[in-house]
Chains A and B, each alone.
Chain A
Amino acid sequence: MTRKVVLYALAIGFALYLVVPFYWIVNMSFMHEVDAASVPPHFLPNNPTLANYLGFVNPSTKQALVGSNAVGDTPYALVNSMVVALSTALVNLVLGTFAAYSFSRIRFRGSQVLLIVYLLTRMVPGIAIIIPFYLVMRTLDLLDTYGALILSYTTFALPITIWILKDYFRTVPRELEDAARVDRCGWFSMMWKVFLPISAPGLVAAAIFSFMTAWNEFMFALFMTSSISSKTIPVIAANFATDVETQVTLMAAAGVLAVVPPLVLVLICQRLIVQGMAAGSVKG
């Protein structure tokens, strides 16, 4: 009995710990600036407004002054982030599938070393490669384009993609491939028609990891982007925070907008993520 009470108390405590901070910025994002600054604070918006969100589409003069154009730039930044994150996920799946297939099906010399090397590249902190990366992108004239971001995020996500996919691919029964081969199916059409559809949970898990890596990344985006033609949402969101004249309600709204896409994705695909990861990944 006491055990149950303690359990529920802990569960509720943790639920509050996880939700309340996020609830606070959602709450703020629906407030007028005056209410947000009131003492005592409103834990529910007493006079809810969409003004902060509408400001991103059609900023008032006052809103437009916040965070060096951050308000007007927010919708473009969301589009940039979406393009970059989806492209990163796609490039990762293609490159990762080839590599992971070889680890799951072919026994070859150096396979273990190669897998460890992939993993080690993930251990290299981004800051260590950012300067040369910047100089290379400057030489290639890719600064302030999607290309520089997609390339850098691909290198971050690729090792993890390969590890997730190789574990998942090993769970696909070999007989299916043999059957396809008997039907005189080529390797590519076997992959496309048989192998990849069965591997969907693993592919989705890997795609979400790459998407989130790209969506959340900030340091490289800060270095590689300079205008709204490629600035991503974390860069714009940071402008709200570092601006002296910032409006806390607008900042909250921008924060909420930046969380929604990855959050929706994670919640929708929750089961597939668990299934994809459970194939071998983090079993202790």
Chain B
Amino acid sequence: MTLTAPDIEKPRTETAHRPRRGMGDTARAYLLNAPAMIVIGLLVAYPIGYSFWLSLHRYNLKLPALERFVWFQNYISLIGDPAFLSSLRVTVAFVVVVLVLTVVLGTALALVLNETFLGRGVLRSLVLLPWAMPGVVNGLMWRTIFDAKTGALNGLLLQLGLIDSYQAWLTSPTGAFFITAFAQVWNTLPFTVIILLAGLSTIPSEQYDAAKVDRAGVVQRFTQVTLPWLLHPLLIVLILETMNAFRAFDTIYVLTGGGPGDATNVIAVLNVRTVLTYTDFGLGSAYSWVITIVTLVISIGYISTLYQRGRIEV
């Protein structure tokens, strides 16, 4: 993993008594890196270039005769492409809702786990449960819960007298949208909690003692002491979860398949459908490149911010 620990031990330069091996350190290091570089180069760098090349083509497996180089036509067509524009709107709304829920719930859960209480160890183990769940199973799980005929939510609400009859939660566009966002949050919350908890554990206890002497209340202690220390981990969470939510696929694919209508048709789902169902590799590659550029801009911004502030240890 990544990100900081400014005081971690720097690798020392070669010690004097080490026998020389007739090969420079740099050469030796690159030799050790060669297998990883070859694998990543062949399986990531090359496909990315190839994908860009494909995005400049009209290329549909079903229409091989029409294949040709079309410059940026696929990208230009995105401007007036209603499917693309609608999925872009859905994706942005999805990212915003997921981020807000993740930050609020994640911070609350991390703060709870940072206190001492009976059963803290159990709760810390329970946090790992959603983390171990494949996105597809997460989708399955929420389907059984929100099911219109057999769902647990319907049964519970009916028994509590909150609804008069079973509701088809997933067939209303608004319902489906918020349910997919909620399901996504449930699945990715543990990672957020782990990062925030690590951040909380670095706060020196003297800070709280001082706040206590000043008779600061709970709210003041949170805003004056905890929050400033949490800003950096929160930044990490925001960026990672933005990228995660932007490319969310498996939970949504299983839970709603992008429906009803286009209500949950985020860009990754649209992209997969364009490629798998319509076998339109040219347009599909253009969609992919839009996702790539957005996530790369976000991550480069993020890494350089951390790097400049000396908060990244490499």
Q: Do residues A259 and B250 form an inter-chain contact, with CB atoms below 8 A?
A: no
Whether the pair B29, A108 counts as a contact (CB closer than 8 A) is yes
Given A120-B296, A170-B8: A234 and B136 interface contact (C-beta under 8 Å): yes
For residue B215, give the distance in angstroms from its CB to the closest CB of chain A: 15
Cα–Cα, bound, A284→B1 (Å): 12
Most buried by A among B14, B50, B140, B151: B140
> B270-314 vs A: 1/0 string, CB under 8 Å?
011001100001001101110110011001100100010000011
Instruction: From the candidates B5, B12, B142, name the one contacting A283 in the complex (CB within 8 A).
Output: B5
Cα-based distance from A246 to B277 in the complex (angstroms): 22
Counted as pairs of residues, one from A and one from B, with CB atoms less than 8 Å apart, the total is 334
* Interface size class of chain B, counting residues whose CB lies under 8 Å from the partner chain: 35 or more
Q: State A14–B292 Cα separation when bound (angstroms).
A: 35
Known: A37-B150, A125-B291. A15 touches B122 (CB 8 A): yes
Q: Which of B92-141 contact A (CB under 8 A)?
A: 108-109, 112, 115, 117, 119-120, 122-123, 125-137, 139-141
Residues 93-145 of A contacting B (Cβ, < 8 Å): 94-96, 98-99, 101-112, 114-116, 118-121, 123-133, 135-136
> Which residue in chain B gives the minimum CB-CB distance to A241?
B254
| Surface stretch bound by B, among A47-55, A57-65, A262-270 | A262-270
* Complex interface: chain B residues within 8 A of A10 (CB): 108, 112
Nearest CB of chain B from residue A283's CB, rounded to whole Å:
5
User: Which residues on the B side are within 8 Å of A158 (C-beta)?
Assistant: 36, 39-40
Which of A105, A129, A154, A216 is in CB contact (< 8 Å) with B47?
A: A129
B168 within 8 A of A: no
Taking a contact as CB atoms closer than 8 A, the residue among B36, B125, B134, B154 that contacts A118 in the complex is B36
List, in ascending order, chain A residues with CB within 8 A of B198's CB.
278, 281-284
Docked-complex contact A102 and B134, CB < 8 angstroms: no
CB distance from B266 to the nearest CB of A (A): 11
B211 at the A/B interface (Cβ < 8 Å)?
Answer: no
Query: Closest CB of chain A to B21's CB: distance in Å?
Result: 9
Instruction: Return the contact of A238 from the options B126, B166, B253 (Cβ within 8 A).
Output: B253
The chain A residue with its CB closest to the CB of B159 is A40
Contact B314 A115 (CB under 8 A): yes
- The docked-state distance in angstroms from the alpha carbon of A222 to that of B288 is 17
B216 is an interface residue with CB less than 8 A from chain A: no
Decide yes or no: A167 and B296 within 8 Å by CB, A111-B29, A118-B36, A238-B254 being known contacts: no
Whether B39 lies near A133 (C-beta < 8 A) is: no
Per-residue 0/1 for A12-56: is the Cβ within 8 Å of any B Cβ (1 yes, 0 no)? Answer: 001101110110110010000000110111010000000000000
5 closest pairs, A vs B, by CB? A284-B199, A41-B155, A281-B1, A132-B50, A132-B47
- Report A's interface with B, CB cutoff 8 A: 3-4, 7-8, 10-11, 14-15, 17-19, 21-22, 24-25, 28, 36-37, 39-41, 43, 94-96, 98-99, 101-112, 114-116, 118-121, 123-133, 135-136, 151-152, 154-155, 158-160, 162-164, 167, 170-171, 174, 178, 181, 212, 215-216, 218-219, 222-223, 233-235, 237-238, 240-242, 248, 251-252, 254-255, 258-259, 262-263, 265-267, 270, 277-278, 280-284
